[in-house]
Each structure stands twice: as C-alpha cells, then as structure tokens.
C-alpha cells in the first residue's frame, strides 16, 4: 500500500485559501457574502511593472540561485535608508514568494521554533512539515501594540529546554498578521536582548513593513543584526502576491547560512523566473509613481481598517487599535457569559455562527496558533467588491478619507460592520438563541 507521510497528513488546507474557495463558491451561487477571511491586497499592478514584465518576457534562462546580481543590488540600495548598514552585513536571496524563504530558513536552522501567539497561519504547518516542535510564546495585544514580555520569553525558552525541546529560532512579524498592530521599538530591543543571550536566531517577517500606517519602517535588525534575517517581498505593499516574489536578507555572521540556502534553492525552486526578476528591479528603483502608489494604498488600508476597528468598538467589541497591514483582531472575552448562553464557547464557534447566520467569513484565532477559548477573530479589510482600482483612481494623495469613500468603493465593509451590530444584539438579547 502506498501511504502518505504523517507530516503531510497533519497539514490542513491553508485556512485563508479555504475561506477564499468557500466565498468563491457561495458567490457563484448568487449569495451575498461578507468576505473578511482573506488578506489579499486588491489594488492593480502598477503600469510600469506590467510594462517591464512584458518587455522581459523573453528572459528564459536559469539564473543564479540567489537572484540576478543587478536585482539584488537594487534591492540592497532600496532597503539602505530603511535598515541602514545592516544591508552591507547581509547576502540577499530572492524566491518565488517569501513563504518559500520562510520554509527554507526554518529548514536551515537546526532545532525547534518559538512562535508568538497569535502568529501568521503558515509558520506552524511549515515547522510540522520539518518535524520540529512549535513552542507557543504568549503575546499581549492592546492599543500600544503587540507585546512579548521578555521575562516570559526567557521562561518559555528555559521551560522548553527542561522538557527536552531545543528552541533555537523565533519568527516575529511586525506589522502583524493577524493582529493589525506593530511591535514597538522598545519591545523589539527587549526581545533582541533575550535572543542574543539565549542564542535564538530571529526570522523577522517584515512583509508588511511598508504598510505601516505611520510611514515608519521598524526592523528587528536594528537591535540584533548579526542574528536576524529579514523576509519580505512584493505581495503586500504592491498588492502583487500572485507574482510570487519574495526577498530575504541573510546575515553574513551566521557562517555558511547563505551558501546552505543557495544549495537548498538549487535543489528546489532553482531560481525565480526571469521576467519577474527583471520587472522586480523596477519595483525597487524608487520611482516616484511606485513610491506614491505604496503610500496611497497604505493610506487606504489604514482608512478601511480603522473604520472596521472603530465600527466594532462602537458596537461594544474590544479591538486593539490598528497600526499596519490589512487586519483587525477583535476579541469577545468580556461577553464570554453571554456567548455561553448561546452555546458559543470558542473563537471557532463565533466564526461558525457568523458564517451560518450572516454569511460573514472571518478566521478564528486557532488558525493563528491561538487557543480557541481566547474568543478572538481575525478580520481582513480587503472586500472592495471589485472596486479597488476605482478606489485608487478616486483617491487624491493626502486626501482625508471619509465614510463616503468607503460607501462608494467598499460598501460591503460597512455592511460587515453592521453584521457585528446584529451579532451583538443576538448575543446580548434574551430571545431564543440562533443555532451556533
Ligand atoms: C505575515 C505574512 N508573512 C508572509 C506571507 C507570505 O507572502 P508571500 O509568500 O506572498 O511573499 C504572508 C502572506 O499572506 C503573510 O501574511
């Protein structure tokens, strides 16, 4: 009998892609669906990049595993004003998406993975595929940001070692998916100190770094450059996930790491396809139109996600202030008793209730390595009803965005906020509960 491996069997379908498939099916059957499940930035590819891709369609060779030197140098110079001399202390790698680099980095660093709760959906399944342990590090979310207590981090590392685990690497992500908030510089410094003392390698997932609403790019590499790798790419700030283009900065101080990754690439994806590499050069040349596009999209993301956060708060729901990315991460803990009366006990139950009663798709905290009883949901603010291109055209640089803008370009966002009002009525009313 031909059997599948335990590792592959333990991996569920990615919850975000599952949500997307389900919405697609329901919409094709004519149903109105509120899609807060998938964080796909909806804006179109900038014309300059489309043109560059077409002009390079004939570039068909196998290229160096790490990437075309001209591209790597252009990216290095793009990041210099953002992360300073760190760029000179690193080698660069490009890949078909940063997801693959995250996997390669996890594979390259021996030992178990420290994963803050909540964290992006993919880190833990990747760790499972590599047969390493994922060790949960509690994080606290509030209006000041995403906090990891350095004392708790150290205790978690020591406790794991006592249990025979081998924590050697941590993945951090700021601005955070799913939390929609940032790790402050002070917290970064404290985490970096613990990681240096405990010899923990930092994988700093900075894919939303250019979607920080205050316009500041903050990087873990400021505090622990010699033990930190950055992963990033074009998927978020330029809304180009489907182009599959990721970047990583690999610290030279970790001996042999860059060479090991190049060997790994040579045995897996070989190289990023030529047209995409040449077109990507244009994305990193600091063309004024591209830089303006990044700023405009970030402003629109801020406006939409702040409206969701404030709309939920107006319905009495706790939601940490959003500071970057495409998401909000509300929690319903203070309604635990009301929810229990309706047989809603976990974040998965809330997710199901909203789906079954309101056709609203969210994701439960369990998709993000959270404990189900934390009663958190991740909501994505990307449901533009095919009007994102118009929203971008209709937006004037620096314009103060108002409710009329959302009504015009993303009306389903306002309707989704209203759904939460109905949900709160359901759970705080004493009438017969709907089925959870
Ligand atoms: C936090 C985070 N990291 C990494 C990725 C992977 O992005 P890509 O593989 O498109 O570069 C995503 C995509 O959703 C993400 O949200």
The CATH architecture one would assign to domain 6-44+289-428 is: Alpha-Beta Complex (3.90)
42 Cα: distance to centroid of ligand 1 (angstroms): 15
What pLDDT is stored for residue 434 in this prediction? 56
Q: In the chain, how long is the greatest CA-to-CA distance?
A: 67
> Residue 394: is its pLDDT beyond 90?
no
**Site residues for ligand 1, CB cut-off 6 Å:** 39, 97-99, 120, 173, 177, 205, 207, 233, 235, 241, 246
33 Cα: distance to centroid of ligand 1 (angstroms): 24
238 Cα: distance to centroid of ligand 1 (angstroms): 13
> Residue 103: is its pLDDT beyond 70?
yes
231 Cα: distance to centroid of ligand 1 (angstroms): 9
> Residue 58: is its pLDDT beyond 80?
yes
What span, in angstroms and rounded, lies between the C-alpha atoms of 238 and 247? Answer: 14
Which atom of ligand 1 lies at the shortest distance from residue 241's CA?
Answer: 10
What span, in angstroms and rounded, lies between the C-alpha atoms of 361 and 354? Answer: 7
The CATH architecture one would assign to domain 52-285 is: 3-Layer(aba) Sandwich (3.40)
Q: Which residues pair with 250 in a beta bridge?
A: 91
Reported confidence tier of residue 431, pLDDT bands at 50, 70, 90 = low
* Ligand 1 pocket mutation, candidates 16, 17, 99, criterion most atoms within 8 A of CB: 99
Count the neighbouring beta carbons within 10 Å of the beta carbon of residue 81.
Answer: 10
> Residue 71: is its pLDDT beyond 80?
yes
206 Cα: distance to centroid of ligand 1 (angstroms): 9
> Residue 435: is its pLDDT beyond 70?
no
* Ligand 1 pocket mutation, candidates 236, 243, 248, criterion most atoms within 8 A of CB: 236
Q: Which residues pair with 172 in a beta bridge?
A: 204
Q: pLDDT tens for residues 306-330?
A: 999 999 999 999 999 999 999 999 9
What span, in angstroms and rounded, lies between the C-alpha atoms of 264 and 108? Answer: 9
Which atom of ligand 1 lies at the shortest distance from residue 173's CA?
Answer: 1
- The strand ranges marked E within 277-329 are 327-328
Query: For atom 16 of ligand 1, which residue has the closest CA?
Result: 177
**Helix 411-428 and helix 347-358, axial crossing angle in degrees, nearest 10:** 110
> Residue 433: is its pLDDT beyond 80?
no
What span, in angstroms and rounded, lies between the C-alpha atoms of 311 and 305? Answer: 10
What span, in angstroms and rounded, lies between the C-alpha atoms of 252 and 229? Answer: 10
Domains in the chain: boundaries: 6-44+289-428, 52-285
* Ligand 1 pocket mutation, candidates 40, 42, 207, criterion most atoms within 8 A of CB: 207
Q: Which residues pair with 173 in a beta bridge?
A: 205
Which atom of ligand 1 lies at the shortest distance from residue 98's CA?
Answer: 11
Reported confidence tier of residue 436, pLDDT bands at 50, 70, 90 = low
316 Cα: distance to centroid of ligand 1 (angstroms): 31
Q: How far is CA 13 from CA 104, 121, 291, 313, in A?
A: 20, 11, 35, 32
Residue 318 makes CB contacts below 8 A (sequence gap 6+) with: 330, 331, 332, 333, 334
Which atom of ligand 1 lies at the shortest distance from residue 325's CA?
Answer: 16
What is the overall mean pLDDT for the chain?
94
């Amino acid at each position: 009998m031909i059997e599948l491996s335990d590792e592959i069997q333990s991996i569920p379908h990615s919850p975000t892609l599952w949500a997307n498939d389900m919405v697609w099916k329901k919409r094709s059957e004519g149903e109105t669906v509120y899609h807060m499940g998938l964080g796909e930035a909806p804006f179109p590819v900038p014309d300059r990049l489309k043109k560059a891709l077409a002009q390079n369609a004939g570039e068909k060779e196998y290229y160096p595993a790490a990437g075309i030197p001209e591209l790597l140098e252009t990216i290095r110079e793009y990041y210099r004003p953002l992360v300073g001399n760190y760029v000179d202390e690193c080698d660069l790698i490009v890949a078909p998406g940063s997801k693959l680099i995250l996997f390669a980095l996890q594979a390259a660093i021996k030992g178990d993975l420290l994963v803050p709760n909540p964290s992006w959906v993919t880190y833990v399944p990747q760790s499972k595929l590599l047969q390493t342990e994922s060790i949960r590090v509690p994080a606290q979310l509030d209006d000041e940001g995403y906090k990891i207590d350095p004392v708790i981090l150290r205790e978690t590392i020591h406790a794991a070692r006592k249990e025979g685990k081998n924590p050697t690497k941590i993945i951090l992500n700021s601005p955070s998916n799913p939390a929609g908030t940032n790790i402050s510089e002070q917290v970064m410094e404290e985490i970096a100190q613990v990681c240096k003392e405990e010899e923990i390698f930092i994988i700093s997932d900075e894919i939303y770094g250019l979607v920080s609403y205050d316009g500041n790019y903050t990087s873990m590499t400021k505090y622990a450059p010699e033990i930190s790798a950055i992963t990033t790419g074009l998927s978020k700030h330029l809304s180009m996930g489907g182009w599959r283009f990721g970047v990583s900065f690999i610290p030279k101080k970790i001996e042999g790491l860059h060479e090991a990754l190049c060997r790994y690439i040579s045995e897996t994806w070989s190289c990023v396809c030529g047209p995409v590499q040449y077109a990507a050069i244009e994305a990193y040349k600091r063309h004024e139109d591209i830089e303006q596009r990044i700023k405009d999209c970030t402003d629109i993301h801020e406006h939409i996600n702040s409206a969701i956060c404030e709309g939920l708060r107006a319905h009495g729901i706790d939601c940490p202030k959003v500071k970057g990315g495409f998401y909000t991460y509300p929690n319903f803990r203070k309604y635990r008793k009301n929810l229990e009366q309706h047989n809603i006990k976990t974040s998965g139950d809330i997710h199901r209730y909203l789906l079954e009663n309101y056709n609203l798709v969210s994701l439960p905290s369990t998709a993000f390595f959270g404990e189900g009883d934390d009663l958190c949901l991740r909501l994505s603010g990307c449901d533009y009803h095919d009007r994102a291109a118009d929203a971008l055209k209709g937006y004037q640089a620096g314009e103060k965005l108002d409710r009329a803008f959302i009504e015009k370009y993303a009306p389903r966002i306002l309707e989704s906020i209203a759904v939460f009002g109905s949900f709160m009525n359901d759970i705080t009313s004493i009438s017969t509960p709907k089925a959870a």
